[in-house]
Amino acid sequence: MFNMLRGWISRAKGDSTGTPESRAVPGSVFEEIVLVAPAYDELTTLLCSWLEKIAQEERVACKRIFRETAEAGALDETLDLAERRRVLLVFYGHGTEEALLTARFNADSSARGLEGHFNEEILSHVDVGSKHSLAVVAYCCLSAKVLGAKVRRVTKGGRYLGYIGEIPFELDPQCRDAFKAPMERILKGLIGGRQEIDDQARADLLEAYYEEWREWTFGEYSEHERAIWVAMCLEEHMSRLSREV
């Protein structure tokens, strides 16, 4: 009874506790982990494969909403869950200022779009409210600007690690891992229950980007023909990372 009361008080304060045995990882601040990555173009397919791999490697109980299952409406259940438990939501894909994006999928799992554009919303700022307890990592353009601000301002203990501008990617097979490694390092800490989304996580992400940047500017990869371009892109990622979490 006392534990239940303590858990209720903590959740009402937007805190990260809850009964220990309900957490995705014992000792973790998150009670549920949801990983979302639609795949419908070259970039999202690659991003999805990265998040799938993290999910496999971390071996943590989490809900996986990948590829064609990541369609509009797929997060309705997650939002219901977030009314009762503290949810870590990780998204890899495309975004706008107000929403995380996906595509509409055909029966054969191919994406339906118009002139190469697939702008269905899988999570929008209008979907989140004060009843939700959400911590979000969004590896996509822009979403920290409006969606992220709302998550922080309105939801219980809301946290949002994301970007407030467009972030470029270089998908040349010899370069693409530069954009995989920094976020992967932080996510492994979050999913593994070793970290919260806080200023330290943001600082750690920046540090990971910086180490990658140094390799492409002065270090092991600086001789690559696209090294300057990769470094420029990493600088964009760093400068567009939202200052707040």
Partner 1 sequence: MAEMFEIPGVGELTVHGDTAAVAYRVLLLDDDDQWAKSTEEVLRAKGVGKVDRSRSVADADAQIQRERYDAVIADVLLQEVGPDHKGSDPTQGDEWLLRNKERLDTSYKVALTAYPGSIRDEGALRQEGIRVISKSEDEELDFYDELGERAQEKKRRIIDSVSELLKRMLAEGQVEGSSPSEERPLLTKESGVGERVAAEAANTFLEWVDSRGSKEQKSIWIGQERYSLEDLASEVEKGSELGERLLSMFLRHMRLRMGLGNPLSMKPQSEH
Of residues 191 and 230, the one with the C-beta less far from partner 1 = 230
Of residues 28 and 242, the one with the C-beta less far from partner 1 = 242
Of residues 132 and 237, the one with the C-beta less far from partner 1 = 237
Of residues 47 and 135, the one with the C-beta less far from partner 1 = 47
114 is a site residue for partner 1 (CB under 8 A)? no
The number of C-alpha atoms within 13 Å of 42 and in the hemisphere containing its C-beta is 7
Of residues 82 and 183, the one with the C-beta less far from partner 1 = 183
Residue from 65, 88, 231, 245 binding partner 1 (CB under 8 A): 231
72 is a site residue for partner 1 (CB under 8 A)? no
Contact pattern for partner 1 over residues 30 through 69, marking x by CB under 8 A: -----------xxx--------------------------
Kindly tell me the burial class for residue 17, based on how many C-beta atoms sit within 10 Å of its own C-beta (0-12, 13-18, 19 or more). middle
CB of residue 83 to partner 1, shortest distance in Å: 27
CA angle centred on 164, ends 197 and 237, rounded to 5°: 80
239 is a site residue for partner 1 (CB under 8 A)? yes
Phi, psi of 137 (to 5 degrees): -115, 120
Return the structure tokens found at 141. Answer: 């353009």
Contact 154, 130 (CB under 8 A): yes
Specify the amino acid at residue 89: L
Q: How many CB atoms lie within 10 A of CB 30?
A: 25
Kindly tell me the burial class for residue 243, based on how many C-beta atoms sit within 10 Å of its own C-beta (0-12, 13-18, 19 or more). exposed
Window of 56-64, 84-92, 180-188, 210-218 that interacts with partner 1 by CB under 8 A: 210-218
Spatial separation of the C-alpha atoms in residues 46 and 68, rounded to whole Å: 14
165 is a site residue for partner 1 (CB under 8 A)? yes
Footprint on this chain of partner 1 (rule: CB under 8 A): 41-43, 94, 116-117, 141, 144-146, 149, 164-166, 168-172, 175, 206-207, 209-210, 213, 217-218, 222-229, 231-232, 234-236, 238-244
